[in-house]
């Protein structure tokens, strides 16, 4: 619920941020594509103007001849002197102009067309020539190669003509970052100015008139504002995404932390009530036994012996419980230091059994202790290890029902000394077997519920054994019993370490 309450608005905000950024980027791209189409149109217009200018310039000689009343042959000769610029000159008398096309470029008439005889592959471009009386007598011009014209004039058109055109919107600033390519009808490049890096906003416009079949492509270069905007959008979207992930992560970690704290608070409160109960039971039993003895209600020595035994047994239990709580809080605070001395595990077992035997016998347990003749020593704290064993024994008693069997064994395996405590009690479900080592953890099943405990014993055993560089293993089957094994590294006398 908490995760959802934070994550949902965070995701919505991040999503909206990304959506807005993409929308702006889309607008910029659309605007840039529109401008590219506009520029392509302008390039085409400029090519036409360039052609008209060049034809008009080249015609000057022939026009002078015609205006002074020169003959057609003289006009043709004047045209031929300028043939260097174009392919071959031609003069078409007015009455033969039918079949050619006309286009006005900046108010001037450009006449163009293909060779009606089919001899030439290239088009003809011409302008009207006036005679001595001021009336047009025909069209003078040249056959020319449009591909070569486009290739040789692209740079002039783009660099000089376009920016200086008063009708050009945007001027030099806008065209400087655009790549302009002229291509033929198969799309093969004829010439280009600047390298195109992104095809995203590219626009292509087909040429008409004398340049029919060719096309002008305009696209963005690496330095164009749209390319810059694109990079910015990628960074921004990545940034927003990252921010969202960090927020989600923080929320998740925060939620986990809060849940853990709630769990701990719950566990601590049940811990207090469990511990109180555990302390109360032996105190009550001891008090009763002492009162009975005080009042002299016992008739025989055997009975007195029984009460004294009870007092010893219960005070041992009380001491173990208090030890558990003290050790636990010291270990948690990092104040519990582990002494390190060579320890014989058989001594640990014997010591623990001395104080625990009473409890086993009084609770009606059958027990077996199996110790080998020789065991390698381990390096550690004998009292702490004895404490661990007492906790395991205590559990074996608490969690056994009718099959009251406990076995304690010491064995050596894989360079470790193992201390195993087996019972034939209620067992632990596989999914609980890791959890039981956590502090305050108790199995929440009906059977265990009737047994009081603080949930500290195993976590204490685990902490102490880990401090000895060892580990605790559990093998258990529900309904059949459990074996807890403490494994400690063998003490290497030569090296003096465990
Ligand atoms: P406590 O016994 O005080 O509840 P422990 O840390 O010693 O706390 O044990 C944790 C839980 O592990 C117990 O509540 C019990 O459910 C389970 N457990 C421990 N030892 C045994 C055992 N020998 N047989 C069955 N269950 C066990």
Q: Using a 6 Å cutoff on CB, does residue 481 contact ligand 1?
A: no
Residue nearest to atom 3 of ligand 1 (CA): 453
**What string of DSSP letters covers 375-401?**
---EEE-HHHHHHHHHHHHHHHHHT--
Average pLDDT, the chain: 87
Q: What is the 3-state secondary structure (H, E, C) of 118-131?
A: CCCCCCEEEEEEEC
Cα(138) to centroid of ligand 1, in Å? Answer: 116
Is the pLDDT assigned to residue 218 strictly greater than 90?
A: yes
Is the pLDDT assigned to residue 196 strictly greater than 80?
A: yes
Is the pLDDT assigned to residue 498 strictly greater than 50?
A: no
Q: Look at residue 281 in the predicted model and tell me its pLDDT.
A: 80
**What string of DSSP letters covers 174-186?**
HHTTEEEEEE-TT
Q: Look at residue 497 in the predicted model and tell me its pLDDT.
A: 47
Banded model confidence at residue 172, pLDDT cuts 50, 70, 90? very low
Is the pLDDT assigned to residue 29 strictly greater than 60?
A: yes
Residue 393, judged by CB atoms within 10 A of its CB (0-12, 13-18, 19+), counts as buried
Q: Helix, strand, or coil here: 62? A: helix
Cα(427) to centroid of ligand 1, in Å? Answer: 9
pLDDT digits (tens, 9 = 90+) for 112-128: 998 877 788 889 999 99
Alpha helix stretches (DSSP H) within 92-170: 146-155, 162-164
Around Cβ 446, how many Cβ atoms within 10 Å? Answer: 6
Residue nearest to atom 14 of ligand 1 (CA): 442
Q: Using a 6 Å cutoff on CB, does residue 182 contact ligand 1?
A: no
Residue nearest to atom 16 of ligand 1 (CA): 443
Q: Using a 6 Å cutoff on CB, does residue 325 contact ligand 1?
A: no
Residue 225, judged by CB atoms within 10 A of its CB (0-12, 13-18, 19+), counts as middle
Q: How far apart are CA 297 and CA 308, in angstroms?
A: 13
Q: Using a 6 Å cutoff on CB, does residue 358 contact ligand 1?
A: no
Banded model confidence at residue 447, pLDDT cuts 50, 70, 90? low
Average pLDDT over residues 394-422: 93
Cα(395) to centroid of ligand 1, in Å? Answer: 6
How long a stretch of residues is the chain? 498
Average pLDDT over residues 132-144: 90
Banded model confidence at residue 271, pLDDT cuts 50, 70, 90? confident
Q: Look at residue 328 in the predicted model and tell me its pLDDT.
A: 80
Residue nearest to atom 13 of ligand 1 (CA): 442
Ligand 1 pocket: which of 458, 473, 486 to mutate (most atoms within 8 A of CB): 458
Is the pLDDT assigned to residue 243 strictly greater than 80?
A: yes
Q: Which of 339-343, 411-415, 483-487 has the highest mean pLDDT?
A: 483-487
User: Percent of the chain scored above 90 by pLDDT?
Assistant: 45
Q: Using a 6 Å cutoff on CB, does residue 386 contact ligand 1?
A: no
Q: Using a 6 Å cutoff on CB, does residue 360 contact ligand 1?
A: no
Residue 459, judged by CB atoms within 10 A of its CB (0-12, 13-18, 19+), counts as buried
Q: Using a 6 Å cutoff on CB, does residue 457 contact ligand 1?
A: yes
Average pLDDT over residues 260-289: 84
* Residue scoring higher pLDDT (297 or 156): 156
Residue nearest to atom 18 of ligand 1 (CA): 395
């Amino acid at each position: 619920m908490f995760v959802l309450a934070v994550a949902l608005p965070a995701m919505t905000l991040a999503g909206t941020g990304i959506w807005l950024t993409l929308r702006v980027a889309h607008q910029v791209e659309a605007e840039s594509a529109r401008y590219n189409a506009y520029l392509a149109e302008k390039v085409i217009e400029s090519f036409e103007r360039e052609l008209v200018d060049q034809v008009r310039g080249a015609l000057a000689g022939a026009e002078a001849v015609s205006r002074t009343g020169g003959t057609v042959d003289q006009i043709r000769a004047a045209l031929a002197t300028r043939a260097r610029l174009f392919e071959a000159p031609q003069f078409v008398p007015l009455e033969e102009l039918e079949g050619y096309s006309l286009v006005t470029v900046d108010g001037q008439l450009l006449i163009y067309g293909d060779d009606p005889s089919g001899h030439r592959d290239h088009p003809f471009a011409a302008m009207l020539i006036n005679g001595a009386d001021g009336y047009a007598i025909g069209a003078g011009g040249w056959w020319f190669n449009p591909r070569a014209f486009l290739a040789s004039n692209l740079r002039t058109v783009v660099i000089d003509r376009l920016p200086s055109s008063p009708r050009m919107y945007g001027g030099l600033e806008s065209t400087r970052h655009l790549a302009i390519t002229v291509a033929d009808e198969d799309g093969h490049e004829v010439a280009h100015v600047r390298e195109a890096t992104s095809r995203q906003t590219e626009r292509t416009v087909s040429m008409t008139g004398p340049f029919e079949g060719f096309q002008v492509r305009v696209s963005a270069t690496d330095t164009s504002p749209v390319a810059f905007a694109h990079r910015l959008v990628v960074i921004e979207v990545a940034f927003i995404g990252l921010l969202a992930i960090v927020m989600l992560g923080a929320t998740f970690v925060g939620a986990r932390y809060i849940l853990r704290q709630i769990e701990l608070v719950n566990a601590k409160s049940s811990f207090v009530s469990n511990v109180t109960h555990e302390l109360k039971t032996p105190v009550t039993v001891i008090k009763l036994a002492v009162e009975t003895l005080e009042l002299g209600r016992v008739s025989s020595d055997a009975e007195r012996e029984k009460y004294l035994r009870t007092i010893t047994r219960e005070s041992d239990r009380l001491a173990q419980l208090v030890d558990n709580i003290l050790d636990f809080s010291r270990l948690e605070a990092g104040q519990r230091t582990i002494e390190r001395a060579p320890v014989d595990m058989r001594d640990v077992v014997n010591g623990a059994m001395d104080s625990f035997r009473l409890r086993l016998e009084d609770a009606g347990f059958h027990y077996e202790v199996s110790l080998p003749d020789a065991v390698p020593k381990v390096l550690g704290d004998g009292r702490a290890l004895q404490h661990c064993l007492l906790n395991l024994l205590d559990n074996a008693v608490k969690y056994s029902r009718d099959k009251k069997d406990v076995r304690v064994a010491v064995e050596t395996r894989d360079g470790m000394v193992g201390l195993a405590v087996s019972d034939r009690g209620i067992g632990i479900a596989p999914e609980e077997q890791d959890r039981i080592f956590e502090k305050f953890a108790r199995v929440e099943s009906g059977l265990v519920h009737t047994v009081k405990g603080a949930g500290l014993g195993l976590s204490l055993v685990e902490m102490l054994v880990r401090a000895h560089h060892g580990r605790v293993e559990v093998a258990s089957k529900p309904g059949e019993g459990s074996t807890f094994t403490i494994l400690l590294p063998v003490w290497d006398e030569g090296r003096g370490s465990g």
